Structure 1
């Protein structure tokens, strides 16, 4: 089932890098977040793409309730639909990253250890793209 891309999310698949790019255009309500990530997953499923750059810099902040929804509801859908490990590079503004790191209600990234997805946070797009490229190279290396 294909979900229409909401107007508050710029979503594209980059053929040259086999990477999905989602850019949140503004802060969103929880139901908008859910719809947006449904559209991201639908496009990823259509393209069988497990390398995602998610630019959340235009959102005002990262909410602990949204993080818990992602952990409990959204991320468990990735492996059954995409197979293999999905790599998510979150591009954040420095103040957002500082807020996430200071918020005790948001678990550390180590909570995802052993799960079929990997998450990293970045404040510079080139670093996020480089990490996704390295993940692709590691996945394509035999053995």
Structure 2
């Protein structure tokens, strides 16, 4: 079932790079976050795309409650829908990343060890894209 793309989220599938790009256009309420990520997952499922660039720079902040919702509700949907490891590159402003790293309530990236997804955070889009391309190369080498 396809979820309509909300007006506060731009979604694009880069066919040549097989990367799904989601760009938040503004800060969102929790219910908007949930709808937005449902639309991201629907497009990823439709395209069978496991390499995502998620631009959260226009969101004023990323709080622990949102992260825990993603951990408990959203990420568990990835493997059943996409079948293999999903790679999520989060693009953030430097102040967002610094705030996240300083927040003791925020889980560290080691939380995803052994889970069927990998997450990295970036402040530069080219580095995020390079990481996703490297993940694709590693996946292809294992296939």
Q: Give secondary structure in 2 for the equivalent of 1:27.
A: coil
Matched, 1:92 2:92: yes
- The Cα shift of 1:56 comes to 0.2
* Root mean square deviation of aligned Cα: 0.6
- 1:99-128 per-residue CA deviation (whole Å, 9 max, x = no partner) reads 000001110000001000000000000000
> Within 5 A, what are the aligned runs for 1:38-117?
38-117=38-117
| Partner in structure 1 of residue 7 of structure 2 | 7
- The Cα shift of 1:35 comes to 0.1
Unaligned runs of 5+ in 2: none
TM-score, normalised by the number of residues in structure 1? 0.99
- The Cα shift of 1:142 comes to 3.4
**Counterpart-to-counterpart distance in 2, 1:87 and 1:132:** 7
Matched, 1:121 2:134: no
| Partner in structure 1 of residue 141 of structure 2 | 141
Number of aligned residue pairs: 143
Q: Give secondary structure in 2 for the equivalent of 1:119.
A: strand
**Counterpart-to-counterpart distance in 2, 1:69 and 1:100:** 16
Q: Give secondary structure in 1 for the equivalent of 2:61.
A: coil
Unaligned runs of 5+ in 1: none
TM-score, normalised by the number of residues in structure 2? 0.99
